Structure 1
Amino acid sequence: MKSFRENSRKLSVFFSHSTEEEDNLTRFNTEDVAIAETPLTLSISRDDEQQRERVNLLRAQFDTPFGSLPGKALLGMQSTWVNYTTLQQLAYYREALQTGANAFTIDQTIHALYLLYEKEAGELKWKIGVRAESYQHDGVQRLGDSLIEDRYLNVFPSVQLSQSLGEVSTLSGSYSYRIDRPIFRQINPYLSFDDPLNVRTGNPFLQPQFAHRVELSYQAQFPNDKVAVSVFGHQINNTIQRIAAEQGDRVLLTYTNIGTNRRVGATLFYGTSPTAWLQLNQSAAVYHDAFRDPREALLRFSSNTTYNARLEQVVSLKSGWKLQLQEYYYAPARGIQETKPHRFYANLAIRKTSKDKRLSVSLQATDVFGTQNIIETTITPDLELRRELVYQFQRVGVNVSYKLME
């Protein structure tokens, strides 16, 4: 990132590139199974997948006084280019069903322009913003020579007000309109086999979900403590949900858009520094979902109430390093056709920042106790499917960053 200042004006330019690759090989052992007269003869014995993701991001921001008006404006642009590629080779038990290697590639381009104006009037602060965003993606699948395209332009407004209530407390309110696009696995049309008769696939025609969000919050800041409480309401249109369907002898899990999800909830945060070398943060959230869709047969469950909590301990060491431990808990939750039990995991990190704040080094470990096994149950009027998924969430990473100019 580079920054250039001129009096009260500031120009910041940021660029990043990331690449992630993943290989998955699934084999099914049927040595002791007589499959000749079973539905397994139509299924696979091997699934070999290679996935690659490349992301380039360019962002420029310009902070400046807003002409002769009081207040400050932030003008910005951001462009993101994403390429996903998946190669897949399936081996079927029946020779006549064999197919060649398949490839699915999708290129996403997002260009955004945004303007944020902020002003203070005594104890009242307010911000008003607008973001215009152009999106397009082009996807190609080798088998069948199918082409998938989508293009749209959206405008997202936002408003935030905050009022000081004395020296230590603040009352805030906000409204925003946001977009959440489906992730790659939700649109990838490949068939992925959990076992020969249970299949997952994405929906390449899945649309993004849009949310109107309203929040009211109260914060109090003391010398060694901070408290924050908020209540919120979300109207989520085109909600993305996972559904199941029977296809002959198989069960197919995929994704669809439903009408709406109305979510209401509350959050609580408390942070304290009992000593100069220890920081303790605790937060919790509870919310209720109400799902609505004209296709009532899709809604095995029409509501969901759940909660989650996070604990964080930060220890400042004499050498300038900081040790950070985070624990997460998620209570049982459900979508329109699936339920998930509670889960817990913990992350560990150690980090250090140089005295001039330019160089930062960190070592991070996720799911340090290996507790992130996932159990999902999918229920429709015609079937009930319980799956236990064991993923490798335990990872170790090193991050080094340096600010060239500020």
Structure 2
Amino acid sequence: MRTFFLLVFLFVTTLNINAQNAGGKAKITGRVTDAVSKQPVDYATVSIFKQGSASPFNGLSTDPKGDFSLNNIPAGDYRLTIDFLGYKKHVVEHVIVGNGGTVALGIVALEPIQNQLKGVEIVAKAPVIENRIDKMVYNAQNDLTAQSGAAIDVLKKVPQVTVDIDGNVELQGNANIRFLINGKPSSIFGASLADALQAIPGSQIKSIEVITSPGAKYDAAGTGGIINIILKDSKVQGINGSVNLTAGTRQENGSFNLNARKGNFGVNAFFSGNAQLNTTVLTTNNRSSADGQGNITRLFQKGSSDSKRSGYQSGLSLNWDITPKDVLTAAVGFDHFGNHNNGLTNQQESITDASSNLITNLLSLRNSDSRFNAYATDYSLAYKKNFKKEGQSLEVLFTSSYSKNTAKYSQTQDYLNNDRETTGIRGNNPGNDRETNISIDYTHPITKSFTIEGGAKAVIENLTNTTVTDTLLSGNYVNNAEQTYGFNYKRNIYAGYLSVSTSLFNNFLDVKAGLRSEYTTTKSNLAGVLIPGYNTFAPSAVISHKLSPTQSIKLSYSYRIERPDYGEINPFFNISDPKNISTGNPNLKPEKSNTFELGYNKSFDGGANIYVGSFYRHNTDDIQQYTTRYDLLTINGKDYTNVLLNQRANLGTQATLGGNIFASVPVTKKLNLRTNIFLAQRSNKAPGLDSIKAFQYRFNLNASYQFPGNFMAEAFGNYNSSSRTLQGTRPHFFFYTMAVRKQFWDKKASIGLVANNAFSQYINQESTTKGPGFNQASIRQLPFRSFGITLSYKFGKLEFSKDKEKDGHDEGGNNMPSEPSGR
């Protein structure tokens, strides 16, 4: 806390210093029109350069009237450029700015390009990383090595995000993240996050938005923040599309996109699929436990497991500009993913007394099989109304997501050194998850520098599933009635919010603050599960200041909660390994979090960029995985001996102080280096458990080089440190990727080669778990090495015209959905 308040003090001091030096700044104004029709050109890009510099230090887009105003410009000699698709770039040399006042350029006429463009793609290439006031954006489509894998591989390169080898994602060291697709929720994430992220090919991802301190407009769910995956889309006139294919030794994926737009109506369709080929993982577990009477039980397990993953995504969206100010969008999507694991494990379980005398020594062979499948259908209908007053808008959104999930397992144990009968069990857990969201958002600018936003939202979620368990008796499976039951879980959330945005002290500070209220009701049909309704007030605020046209600083605060999801509350017992059983906890309470952030960003003339941020987060009712050992565990009438039971629980408090450093440096015109460093000090305090302090860090480096002839090479390496948990340690890991790509046919086609961990077959993960009466050491060997080839082709005819781009679209014409009422 002392460190945090010191940072706040430095921030306030910096504001005072800059307030004293803020005088003397000027502004540049003008209006952009079509040289032929004399009509205003809205959303033209205006950029300002220092003389001799190749990179702009400030810029904006023209408003619906074609007007622009560049503020807080220091005295100097500048070059101004104005650009828009379908027009020749207009350059104004030697714009002389004095101390204070206004430089009025008047009307700037853009000349239309008369020649029709056929078979040519024009792309305004954004930087790989964009740091905005409320989010950080990773533009995956501009990253070579990200295109060959799945979404989980793309996330490994996103600043502030950590992904372990098993696909578990953390944002600023917190795993409780709200995931969205195109700004909308999907029930597919509630079934199995790691599998869902494995099913989205990287070639289908346009960008990933990271929002660590969401405002009042967003749902309060997700103490770690929000990750929004933006899929590729287009609003360019004409018919165009792309095909991407990757074939490899470990995983394969492909995607197809088709866009068609004529006038004010557009259609987008896509299909993408991903498959992880059979992978054999080697595991070793060594456990020692005491029963309190001097007897020591040792369990040694060594085996291998074959695993496969596959999935697909498909979608169709329709966009209709009813009028220049009324837009209707409808979309439907069909998604699927699944995994299959089967393996053999040799087991030795021995018991010795206090004098080290052997009491029993049991050898067995366990054969296990588990499968998981999820199918989801997502619907959405959105309407946006822009009023005559600039910035005034109304948005209404309806989304419905339905998923059907099935988890199955079976296991048998053959005993090798006695005549015990083969034992076994199998379980089947089909379930449905339906979630409906209805929201309305209204934005009203009172003045040019003061805006009010408000809205309401209802979330209706209904989980139903059935557990059927059979026990192997005398060679036949017989239904176990005590482990066969149904589970229904209903949760409704009713929310409202109000926020204001304003500029203070003559545009010296930009401030956005708001309050969100969410009332949650929960019902379950399980005996003993009673969760009363509760209300959550979630305040948020962000203060930002431009120290200069190329650097800014911001301070933010947010209050958030984490409601347990489908997998955490489902009481289904997975007994595929009778010595390591896992289940959900329907009595989980929501986790609550207060987060403070301080960030600084600076860009340089040569194109370099650096971001330095720090944060402090304090969680109560912290949700953590907890492992308990039982000499004898009875589950619905069935006894299991020497068992570790794994489930989530609310375990006290967690406080994290951390920082993130991101830098992108163009060493030469052809060589670019990019790095991201994450560090965090975490402390956990849980009643009945030891308090721990743990330090963890992540470091990665990306290097890209542009050779002549449209040939590019890239390399990426990532290291994640090990860290302590409440009950042991998590493993460290290191991986690296190398890729080359050649573009041809006027950059419409490309071919690439990709290699992951080319010089090492396995990633070895060593972890420990301990608790009252037991210690366990585990080693997992994951085959991570792979080689692949990627093919890409873009087709179609593009027609450019000065159609008005609506709010919510980026400069390239792609959908940039905001999240009404915080989905």
Q: TM-score range by the shorter chain?
A: 0.7 to 0.9
* Cα deviation 1:327-356 (Å, max 9, x = unaligned): 221112122112124221124566799999
Shift of residue 283 of structure 1?
A: 1.1
State the alpha-carbon separation in 1 of the partners of residues 753 and 456 from structure 2.
37
- Give the structure, 1 or 2, with the largest relative contact order (CA under 8 Å, sep 6 or more): 2
The aligned residue for residue 685 of structure 2 is 292
Residues 235-254 of structure 1: pairs in structure 2 closer than 5 A: 235-248=618-631, 249-254=642-647
Q: Are residues 354 and 83 of structure 1, via their aligned partners in 2, closer, same or farther at CA, if it must alter by over 3 Å?
A: farther
Q: Does 1:170 align with 2:560?
A: no
Correspondent of 1:152 among 491, 494, 513: 491
* Cα deviation 1:241-269 (Å, max 9, x = unaligned): 22222222233333323233222211111
Correspondent of 1:22 among 321, 339, 364: 339
Shift of residue 403 of structure 1?
A: 11
Q: Are residues 341 and 87 of structure 1, via their aligned partners in 2, closer, same or farther at CA, if it must alter by over 3 Å?
A: closer
State the alpha-carbon separation in 2 of the partners of residues 11 and 353 from structure 1.
37
Q: Are residues 90 and 304 of structure 1, via their aligned partners in 2, closer, same or farther at CA, if it must alter by over 3 Å?
A: same
State the alpha-carbon separation in 2 of the partners of residues 325 and 125 from structure 1.
45
Shift of residue 69 of structure 1?
A: 6.7
Q: Which has the higher strand share?
A: 1
Q: Does 1:104 align with 2:495?
A: no
Shift of residue 164 of structure 1?
A: 2.5
Residues 247-266 of structure 1: pairs in structure 2 closer than 5 A: 247-248=630-631, 249-266=642-659
Shift of residue 133 of structure 1?
A: 3.7
The aligned residue for residue 53 of structure 1 is 374
Shift of residue 383 of structure 1?
A: 1.8
Shift of residue 282 of structure 1?
A: 0.8
8 A Cα contact 1:243 1:253, kept in partner? yes
Q: Are residues 355 and 334 of structure 1, via their aligned partners in 2, closer, same or farther at CA, if it must alter by over 3 Å?
A: farther
Q: Are residues 57 and 399 of structure 1, via their aligned partners in 2, closer, same or farther at CA, if it must alter by over 3 Å?
A: farther
Correspondent of 2:694 among 304, 315, 318: 304
The amino acid that maps onto 1:25 is N
The aligned residue for residue 387 of structure 1 is 778
The aligned residue for residue 329 of structure 1 is 719
Correspondent of 1:340 among 711, 730, 755: 730
Shift of residue 106 of structure 1?
A: 2.9
Shift of residue 386 of structure 1?
A: 0.7
Shift of residue 19 of structure 1?
A: 2.3
8 A Cα contact 2:409 2:576, kept in partner? no
8 A Cα contact 2:343 2:368, kept in partner? yes
The amino acid that maps onto 1:383 is F
The aligned residue for residue 226 of structure 1 is 609
The aligned residue for residue 7 of structure 1 is 324
Q: Are residues 281 and 202 of structure 1, via their aligned partners in 2, closer, same or farther at CA, if it must alter by over 3 Å?
A: farther
State the alpha-carbon separation in 2 of the partners of residues 353 and 114 from structure 1.
45
Q: Are residues 284 and 129 of structure 1, via their aligned partners in 2, closer, same or farther at CA, if it must alter by over 3 Å?
A: farther
8 A Cα contact 2:382 2:396, kept in partner? yes
Q: Does 1:189 align with 2:573?
A: yes
Q: Secondary structure at the match of 2:622?
A: strand
State the alpha-carbon separation in 2 of the partners of residues 83 and 360 from structure 1.
38
The aligned residue for residue 283 of structure 1 is 676
Shift of residue 227 of structure 1?
A: 1.0
Residues 358-397 of structure 1: pairs in structure 2 closer than 5 A: 369-370=760-761, 372-393=763-784
The amino acid that maps onto 1:150 is Y
The amino acid that maps onto 2:624 is Q
8 A Cα contact 1:186 1:201, kept in partner? no
Q: Does 1:84 align with 2:384?
A: no
State the alpha-carbon separation in 2 of the partners of residues 358 and 77 from structure 1.
37
State the alpha-carbon separation in 1 of the partners of residues 793 and 622 from structure 2.
37
8 A Cα contact 1:269 1:284, kept in partner? yes
Shift of residue 380 of structure 1?
A: 1.6
State the alpha-carbon separation in 2 of the partners of residues 54 and 151 from structure 1.
20
Q: Are residues 120 and 222 of structure 1, via their aligned partners in 2, closer, same or farther at CA, if it must alter by over 3 Å?
A: farther
Q: Secondary structure at the match of 2:690?
A: coil
The aligned residue for residue 355 of structure 2 is none
The aligned residue for residue 313 of structure 1 is 703
* Cα deviation 1:105-140 (Å, max 9, x = unaligned): 232233334748597988999988876543332232
The amino acid that maps onto 2:410 is Q
The amino acid that maps onto 1:134 is I
State the alpha-carbon separation in 2 of the partners of residues 129 and 279 from structure 1.
43
Q: Are residues 34 and 374 of structure 1, via their aligned partners in 2, closer, same or farther at CA, if it must alter by over 3 Å?
A: closer
Q: CA RMSD in A?
A: 4.4
* Cα deviation 1:21-46 (Å, max 9, x = unaligned): 3221122346x9999x84748x7621
Q: Secondary structure at the match of 1:275?
A: coil
Give the number of the structure whose alpha-carbon radius of gyration is greater. 2
TM-score (norm 1): 0.77
Give ranges in structure 1 of 5+ residues lacking alignment: none
Q: Secondary structure at the match of 1:334?
A: strand
Shift of residue 226 of structure 1?
A: 0.7
The amino acid that maps onto 2:769 is T
8 A Cα contact 1:192 1:201, kept in partner? no
Give ranges in structure 2 of 5+ residues lacking alignment: 1-267, 269-316, 352-358, 415-419, 470-482, 496-515, 517-537, 632-641, 797-812, 815-823
Q: Are residues 394 and 114 of structure 1, via their aligned partners in 2, closer, same or farther at CA, if it must alter by over 3 Å?
A: farther
Q: Name the % identity.
A: 16
The aligned residue for residue 202 of structure 1 is 583
State the alpha-carbon separation in 2 of the partners of residues 166 and 272 from structure 1.
20
State the alpha-carbon separation in 2 of the partners of residues 111 and 362 from structure 1.
42
Q: Which moved more, 1:165-174 or 1:6-15?
A: 6-15
* Cα deviation 1:173-196 (Å, max 9, x = unaligned): 334435365574895521243xx7
Shift of residue 216 of structure 1?
A: 2.3
